[in-house]
Amino acid sequence: MRGRWGRKYHLVLLSGLAVTLALVGIALAVNPNEREVKPEANVQDTDDIYKPDSKVWVLDFKFKDPRLIKANVPGRGQKVCWYLWYQVINYTQEPRTFIPEFELVTHDRHTVHRDQILPAVQEAVRQVEDPPDYLKIKNSVTISAEPIPVSRQEATPRAVTGVAIWDDVDPESNRYSIFVAGLSNGWSLTDPIPPDTKPVVRRKTLQLNFRRLGDRYQMKSEEIKFVPPAQWIYRGSQLDVKGLPVGPVLPPAPKE
């Protein structure tokens, strides 16, 4: 009797384990690998970012490769939009306000695209990435409403989740970079680029390079691949310093 019940219990246990493993497999299949970018020093930093009391702070950044989603954009109809799911983590000494600027630059079509606030697309992204609305995905405006809370290295990160959206990326493009500004307060003022006579304001910016396989007629999310490594650069920005407006400066395309 005891042997029969023992065998039944063993079968039930194995069955439960199989179901659990299947669910884990589904979760892994739905949730692509997340890539984490840690702060790194740059020769243009005005202070050592690794010091606890550094005047230059940098936030940690986690992201998934850009994905495509079709959504109805009011006034524009059905659009194939690009989006970047990300999380920001603050391991500095105090809360930091994250005011992001996301720019997608195509290196083969030579175009610049700014992140857009599109509520309908954001909702479509939420239904894919976070159906129970547990993460409370924010856009580039709402994520700046409250400072990113401090996380302790030994504790579970207090990550804040956001999404950047573009609806006008040239479908012919296969090589591009996404620049993320606002993750650091680092900036520098450099000499003008001739024939301009105004100094160039550069912000510490995260550069993520990507390549898309295939053509415009067979566009799939899985064709978009990250080209490592992630880079912390000082990039020309729109910041005004002492009344000097400065336009964006496009960096060279990543090497093959």
pLDDT digits (tens, 9 = 90+) for 207-241: 999 998 765 545 567 788 999 999 999 998 765 55
The answer to whether the beta carbons of residues 209 and 244 sit under 8 Å apart is: no
Cis peptide before 195 (omega within 30 of 0): yes
Rounded to two decimals, the pTM is 0.79
The answer to whether the beta carbons of residues 115 and 178 sit under 8 Å apart is: no
pLDDT digits (tens, 9 = 90+) for 1-55: 445 545 544 444 444 444 343 333 333 334 457 999 999 999 999 999 999 899 9
The amino acid that residue 24 corresponds to is V
Higher pLDDT residue, 64 or 213?
64
Q: Which residues contact 142 (CB under 8 A, 6 or more apart)?
A: none
- C-alpha 139: how far from its chain's center? 11
Tell me the C-alpha distance between 127 and 114, whole Å. Answer: 23
Which of 202, 204, 205, 221 is CA-nearest to residue 213? Answer: 221
Percent of the chain at pLDDT > 90 equals: 60
The amino acid that residue 206 corresponds to is L
**The pLDDT of residue 192:** 79
